[in-house]
Amino acid sequence: MPGDTPFYAKNGLVANTGFIANSTQVTLGANITVNTSAMGISGSTANLIINSTALFIGNSTQNVVITSTFTAAVNLNSTYTWTNTHTFNSTVTLNGTVNDGAATFQSQVVTDAATITANCANGRVMTVTLGGNRTFANCTAQTVGTYILHVVQDATGGRTLTWGGMYKWPQGTAPVLSTGANKRDILSFICDGTNMYGSFMPDVR
């Protein structure tokens, strides 16, 4: 609904296709069902406040992408179960207890090549199997956080890795990989958004 005054959607509202709220503040009350492929809530300084006990966006075949550019907070003041894929492209602030015990974190198999380049956006847990002496180049799309890299020797073994400049090691010395066939080393990294600060667990079995 266009306008500059707050728009309040209270109990029992069903918003079908074409629901648009362009007000300076949008408040959703309890039990709001949004049956639309495109719900627009716009306003660069708007507040989106969700106080619902049951908020459903999309259906079993749809994903929900939240690309908020709001300068104000997005507040979820209740318990929500997200059954589809949700992509948040803005800052999300969580003030309650976060239980990720049932969550599966995205992992990736990094393609082996003479120069290996991992895209960190494809998963924070990475595995690469070395088919020769390789260079592990600076990864792309790294963000602040932690990363795990499994380095596996192939059936021949004896493969080595040279590291890109973003990888930093205790006392400036890169680890020496296990050399046996099919051996697995695990490297952990803390990223500050620019560099990867690494630690090493050799020959994990």
Give the residue extent of every domain in the chain.
Answer: 7-88, 107-201
Is pLDDT larger for residue 93 or for residue 166? 166
* pLDDT tens digits for range 69-82: 444 555 555 566 66
- What is the spatial order of strands in the sheet that 167-168 belongs to? 107-109, 125-130, 145-153, 184-191, 196-201, 167-168
Look at residue 60 in the predicted model and tell me its pLDDT.
45
* pLDDT tens digits for range 29-52: 655 666 555 555 555 455 555 555
Look at residue 65 in the predicted model and tell me its pLDDT.
55
Angle at 87 between CA 63 and CA 38, to 5 degrees: 45
User: Measuring CA to CA, which residue among 165, 118, 116 is closest to residue 141?
Assistant: 118
* pLDDT tens digits for range 119-143: 999 999 999 999 999 999 999 999 9
Q: Are 58 and 39 in contact (CB under 8 A)?
A: no
Q: Give the lowest-confidence range in 68-82, 97-111, 144-158.
A: 68-82
Round the average pLDDT of the chain to a whole number and report it: 78
CA separation for the pair 27, 1 (Å, rounded)? 13
